[in-house]
Amino acid sequence: MKGSEDLLTIDVGDSRWKELIDFDAKLFKTKNIRLLTPEARVLFQLMMSGPLRVNEAMQVAATSYKGFYAVMDRLKQAGLVNISTDDKDHRARNLSIER
């Protein structure tokens, strides 16, 4: 996706991104309400920490197995993420921002 690099660049030193993710988690824990979509949680985590293993991204998305793969399909269709085979463990898959 042309231009997605600029779109998917955030100032990871800005603590407000982490605060937003933490607030979403706290709101869910206390009120069972999500502020962020699963797609947003995965994208924010990828932007803040870099590539994730698919199983880690699944935990970040906080969805069912089937729901997570629907999230991944939407992110892939939008040209926002790339899935690749892990170099060290060929059974594992990594998720990263599409550049």
> What pLDDT does residue 49 have?
87
Record the pTM.
0.81
Query: What is the distance between the alpha carbons of residues 42 and 55, in angstroms, rounded to a whole number?
Result: 12
90: which 2 tokens?
A: 């060929």
What's the alpha-carbon Rg for the chain, to the nearest Å?
A: 14
> What pLDDT does residue 28 have?
93
> What pLDDT does residue 8 have?
63
> What pLDDT does residue 14 have?
80
- What does the domain layout of the chain look like in residue ranges? 4-97
Distance of CA 8 to the CA centre of its chain: 11
pLDDT in tens, the chain (99 residues): 455 556 667 777 788 888 998 999 999 999 999 999 999 999 989 988 889 999 999 999 989 989 999 999 999 999 999 999 988 888 889 999 987
Query: What is the distance between the alpha carbons of residues 79 and 54, in angstroms, rounded to a whole number?
Result: 17
Four-way CATH pick for 4-97: 1.10.10.10, 1.10.1040.10, 3.30.70.20, 1.10.287.3240: 1.10.10.10
Query: DSSP labels for the chain?
Result: -TTHHHHT---TT-HHHHHHHHHHHHHHHHHS--SS-HHHHHHHHHHHH--EEHHHHHHHHT--HHHHHHHHHHHHHTT-EEEEE-SS-TT-EEEEE--
> What pLDDT does residue 1 have?
44
